[in-house]
Structure 1
Amino acid sequence: MLSITRQRLIQRSTLNSIARFKLFSQYSTENKESSDEKSCHSAEDLKKTLEEKEAILKETKDNYLRALAETENVRQRYKTEVESTKKLAIRGFSKDLIDTVDILTIALKNVPAEIKIVENSHEDHKKAVKAIEDLSLGVEMTLKNLIKTLERHGVKEFNPHGKKFDPNTCQALFQVPMPGMEPGHVFVVEKKGYMIHDYVLRPAEVGVVSDNK
């Protein structure tokens, strides 16, 4: 009787052990599946987060490059405006100086070459001639210095004599037929033209050969 009872206890213990093993196995399987599922979700979330960060980084980089390009454009525009302002700052003043150049040039042309030849031995005449020579030399030096000053500031004269008439740089005062000369060309320059850098400060005043027909 005792043996049967022990046998039953052993069987019951064995069944309990088997049940606990099955329960543990089931729990382990479910836990593993849950862990695998969580790991899968974590990897997907990490990938999604990484993609979002990369998109934000790309957008930030693009915005930076656009801002950098715009800054460079603004800097170039500012530089161009400053250079243009500097070039034109003395435009009005230079134009007034050109009139002075014209006056001095005319003054030099009006000094007769004959007056420099002293034929009369009279002392007063010699003094008068010397005074005119000194005045002529002074005007000439002033004119040369003035022209050099203008050139230092980008103002240069141009003489279109013999060249094809250009309405952008020349002003035609008159047109006459000139035998032996090509129509549309400048044959006389009444006033030379002046440029300040790339701008026409004053157009040249010229006479143009007209069509002989």
Structure 2
Amino acid sequence: MRITPSVSRPLSQAIKSTSTSSWSSGAAATTTAMRSAGWMSMPSRMATQPMLRTPFSTSSRVQQTAEEKKETENKAAGEAMGAKDGKAESAGEASELDKLQATIKEKDVKIKELTDAVLYGKADLQNAQRRAQEEKSQAGDYAITKFARDLTSSLDILNLALRSVPEPLRKAPEDAKSLDDPRRAISELYSGVELTSKSILDMLKLHGVTVFDPTGEKFNPQEHEAMFQAPVPGKEPGTVLECSKVGFRIKDRVLRAAQVGVVQETS
């Protein structure tokens, strides 16, 4: 700080007036003189008097406060926006996850439907193949059905011929050695017809055709054809009394039902 002339002159006079005093008194006097001269008054007044603010400093402080407020508001708005964006992002992620889960569930249902359809189709195909194989096998097994049925008619004629021969004549007596003997001729004829019938039955058996005679069995409408009924004492009603024509089976099917007579129930 620059010292004006008006301040330096009284200071010199004060120092001269106190030159004859003692050191302690001089120091105190010097201090008093300096204060009275105004040397120390200016800083004191500067320290004690309030500082006046200029319009420039006030406007700067107001502007700074406004900027700080705006910055605070912007920061709060940013945080709020960030929180809002975070919530929106979380909600969006949750919504997307729900959509993915729904899509997966829908695909699982579709996969199950397709899997079931494939399994059902495979089962149907296997059943169709099995039926075709069975039909093919049956076609081979039952291919001779018509031919075998025609042969049964021939067998009926042969069996009728065999039955027409009396029991004593079926075997020639020992004394009938000549072929001209009618007894031997009838016996030879009977044996020939019997052998023919047996050969046909053996041939049919090779192809799965078998003969059955239900005499004495319980009447079965699936395999027997009742030609007549007659009450017979001592016989159980519904029992096959007599077989007029034997029956035939081809594999597990009835080729021809046996023609039978059935015991009638007596009242």
Q: Does TM, scored on the shorter chain, surpass 0.5? A: yes
Structure 1 residues 175 and 57, CA, compared in 2 at 3 Å: closer, same or farther? closer
User: Which of 144, 147, 156 matches 1:93?
Assistant: 147
Cross-structure match for 1:113 = 170
* Cα distance per residue 1:57-81 (max 9 Å; x no partner): 2322333333334334444544554
For the pair 1:31 / 2:88, whether they are aligned, the reply is no
Q: Secondary structure at the match of 2:217?
A: coil
After TM superposition, give the deviation of residue 145 of structure 1 in Å. 3.2
The alignment covers a number of residue pairs equal to: 208
After TM superposition, give the deviation of residue 191 of structure 1 in Å. 1.8
Q: Normalization by structure 1: what TM-score?
A: 0.69
In the aligned structure 2, how far is the partner of 1:176 from the partner of 1:10? 135
Structure 1 residues 209 and 50, CA, compared in 2 at 3 Å: closer, same or farther? closer
After TM superposition, give the deviation of residue 103 of structure 1 in Å. 3.4
Structure 1 residues 42 and 116, CA, compared in 2 at 3 Å: closer, same or farther? same
Cross-structure match for 1:65 = 119
What amino acid maps onto 2:256 in structure 1? Answer: R
What amino acid maps onto 1:31 in structure 2? Answer: D
In the aligned structure 2, how far is the partner of 1:129 from the partner of 1:46? 102
Structure 1 residues 167 and 55, CA, compared in 2 at 3 Å: closer, same or farther? closer
Let me know the Cα RMSD of the aligned residues: 4.0
Q: Highest Rg: 1 or 2? A: 2
After TM superposition, give the deviation of residue 193 of structure 1 in Å. 1.6
In the aligned structure 2, how far is the partner of 1:85 from the partner of 1:189? 31
Alignment check: 8 A CA contact 2:171 2:187 kept: no
For the pair 1:50 / 2:110, whether they are aligned, the reply is no
In the aligned structure 2, how far is the partner of 1:117 from the partner of 1:184? 44
After TM superposition, give the deviation of residue 94 of structure 1 in Å. 0.9
Cross-structure match for 2:207 = 153
Summarize the alignment of residues 1-213 of structure 1 with structure 2, pairs less than 5 Å apart.
4=57, 8=61, 14=68, 17-18=71-72, 21-82=75-136, 84-108=138-162, 110=165, 112-115=169-172, 117-119=174-176, 125=180, 133=188, 139-211=193-265
The ranges of structure 1 where at least 4 consecutive aligned residues each deviate by more than 6 angstroms after the TM superposition are none
Q: Normalization by structure 2: what TM-score?
A: 0.58
The gaps in structure 2 that reach 5 residues or longer are: 1-53
Structure 1 residues 41 and 100, CA, compared in 2 at 3 Å: closer, same or farther? same
Q: Relative contact order, CA 8 A, sep 6+: which one is greater?
A: 1
Matched residues, percent identical?
31
The gaps in structure 1 that reach 5 residues or longer are: none
Q: Secondary structure at the match of 2:172?
A: helix
Alignment check: 8 A CA contact 2:176 2:184 kept: no
In the aligned structure 1, how far is the partner of 2:73 from the partner of 2:238? 119
Structure 1 residues 18 and 101, CA, compared in 2 at 3 Å: closer, same or farther? same
In the aligned structure 1, how far is the partner of 2:220 from the partner of 2:161? 29
In the aligned structure 2, how far is the partner of 1:129 from the partner of 1:175? 39
* Cα distance per residue 1:179-205 (max 9 Å; x no partner): 443444333322212222343322223
Q: Secondary structure at the match of 1:115?
A: coil
Alignment check: 8 A CA contact 1:192 1:204 kept: yes
After TM superposition, give the deviation of residue 146 of structure 1 in Å. 2.2
